[in-house]
Amino acid sequence: MNRTQRIAAAAVSSLVVGVLAAGCGGSGDEGSDGPVTLRVNLFGQFGYKDLYKQFEAEHPGVKIVETAEGDLGKYNTKLSQQIAANASAGDVVAIEEGQTVNFLQTADKFVNLQDQGFAEIKDDYLPFVADATTTVDGKTTIGLGTDVGGLAMCYRRDLFEKAGLPTDREEVAKLWPTWEDFIATGEKFQAGIGDDKVHFVDAATNTYNSILMQGGDETYFDRDNKLVVESNPAVKNAWDLANQMIEAKLTAKLVAFSDEWNAGFKNGSFATVACPAWMTGYIKGQAGDALAGKWDIATVPGGGGNWGGSWLAVPKSSKHQKEAVELIQFLSGKTGQLGAFKSEGRLPSLPALYDTPELKDAKNPYFNDAPTGQLFVAGAKNLKPVYLGAKNVPVRDAFENVLRSVENGQRSEGDGWKEAVKAAQKAAK
């Protein structure tokens, strides 16, 4: 993911909700008693269009302009530069899971939400969500959680049928209680599908990241921010399993969020993809109406996991901090999180919503009426915080790049591991 590009993310888009009569020259152009334009900078699709309309109706004179970047890496780089310069960032910005530790190092550049009533709502969130954007001394909180990843496995029913595998989601889940079973199922799929252009999984990197995030409470760094890629067995275990998939020729060798990966959801170049809740909206958008009912969702091997999750923050450079704080409180509250779930499948980070009919009974008709509420909520309740570290993104990218070179036959697994460790050490500096 990435989710680095793991983004979680989505197609590049720019959504403009509301239009200022005077244009969008920036929030600083408006007087204190005049109209207010709130600029919202996001990555991917958060499903806020209707929520913006509701907020605008309840706040006369406020208009919202959203810009959504499809490339998470570009988004993170630009936002880091804007925050460092204390200028040009949106009035509201999204912070991706992997960047929370990074932005906590410049917590003074964000509005401290503890001065805005955070103590009254903190316990409403999953504990690790509330803690993720709070400084170690507990004095500053820079973001409010919007969603968590949860994790399942999305699969193509029609391709499974063609390969001679079960298609019912409960029967499919029984095929792969472990990742070793998942690989064995992949080998059966490749033998049965009879088409070397169709592979069992989209990419080694996505599967690698999913396994790694199941491996404990830390990945590349310990909580002292020491690089532990060689001493943390979770990293090598994920690496070894990903390479078993490569060796068995199960991967389509695609780069997440590339044009080719996006096309693969529709053209059938892969049959499974690790699937956090937010991915359901992404798959539907890429695969299109013609494949409604052909995608389905089963539990993920290894028992749960997490891929993604986001927070909303207000940079101090905003000239409309009061209104911006009100907006993030609305979007991260019950109404906002339910709206994003209905629109884009984003799984709320407010446990109180998990037993509501809107989530508990939710089914997704695009995924053959999969009980998305049950599938993702069950995983969310068991989510454990995973410490990522301030340099997680560059190290993750370094590991992914080397793994991809092994996947593409440019180096052996053994040489790849040595190179990945070396690249991680360089990226961590």
Q: Is residue 14 part of a domain?
A: no
At 305-332, the pLDDT tens digits run 777 789 999 999 999 999 999 999 999 9
The answer to whether residues 101 and 241 belong to one domain is: no
**What DSSP state is assigned to residue 397?**
H
Q: What average pLDDT does this structure show over 21-25? A: 32
More confident residue, 123 or 128: 123
DSSP β-ladder status, 309-313 and 144-148: antiparallel
At 58-74, the pLDDT tens digits run 999 999 999 998 788 88
CATH of residue 86's domain is 3.40.190.10
The answer to whether residues 336 and 414 belong to one domain is: no
Partner residues linked to 92 by β-bridges: 40
The answer to whether residues 160 and 289 belong to one domain is: yes
Task: Count up the domains in the chain and report the number.
Answer: 2
Q: What average pLDDT does this structure show over 374-392? A: 79
Structural domain of 45: 36-149+309-361
Q: Is residue 30 part of a domain?
A: no
The answer to whether residues 49 and 175 belong to one domain is: no
pLDDT score of 215 = 84
pLDDT score of 98 = 82
What is the overall mean pLDDT for the chain? Answer: 89
Question: Cα separations (Å) of 415 from 93, 411, 418, 421, 425?
Answer: 40, 6, 5, 10, 16
Query: How sure is the predictor about 291, in pLDDT bands with cuts at 50, 70 and 90?
Result: very high
Q: Is residue 176 part of a domain?
A: yes
Whether residue 106 is predicted with pLDDT greater than 70 in this model: the reply is: yes
Of the listed ranges 8-17, 106-115, 134-143, 257-266, the least confidently predicted one is: 8-17
Query: How sure is the predictor about 11, in pLDDT bands with cuts at 50, 70 and 90?
Result: very low
The answer to whether residues 123 and 173 belong to one domain is: no
pLDDT score of 345 = 86
Of the listed ranges 19-33, 92-106, 340-354, 360-374, the least confidently predicted one is: 19-33
The answer to whether residues 93 and 227 belong to one domain is: no
Q: Is residue 2 part of a domain?
A: no
Q: Is residue 395 part of a domain?
A: yes
Q: Is residue 276 part of a domain?
A: yes
pLDDT score of 254 = 95
Query: In the Cβ-directed half-sphere of 375, how many Cα atoms lie within 13 Å?
Result: 28
Q: What average pLDDT does this structure show over 338-362? A: 92
Q: Is residue 6 part of a domain?
A: no
pLDDT score of 8 = 39
The answer to whether residues 133 and 266 belong to one domain is: no
Of 306, 303, 307, whose CA–CA distance to 177 is shortest?
A: 303
* Whole-number Å distance between alpha carbons of 67 and 71: 12
The answer to whether residues 41 and 72 belong to one domain is: yes
pLDDT score of 211 = 93
The answer to whether residues 168 and 279 belong to one domain is: yes
The answer to whether residues 59 and 143 belong to one domain is: yes
Whether residue 16 is predicted with pLDDT greater than 70 in this model: the reply is: no
The answer to whether residues 392 and 271 belong to one domain is: yes
pLDDT score of 6 = 40
pLDDT score of 103 = 94
pLDDT score of 150 = 82
Q: In what helix (H) or strand (E) does residue 296 lie, and over which residues does it extend?
A: strand 295-298
Q: Is residue 156 part of a domain?
A: yes
The answer to whether residues 241 and 388 belong to one domain is: yes
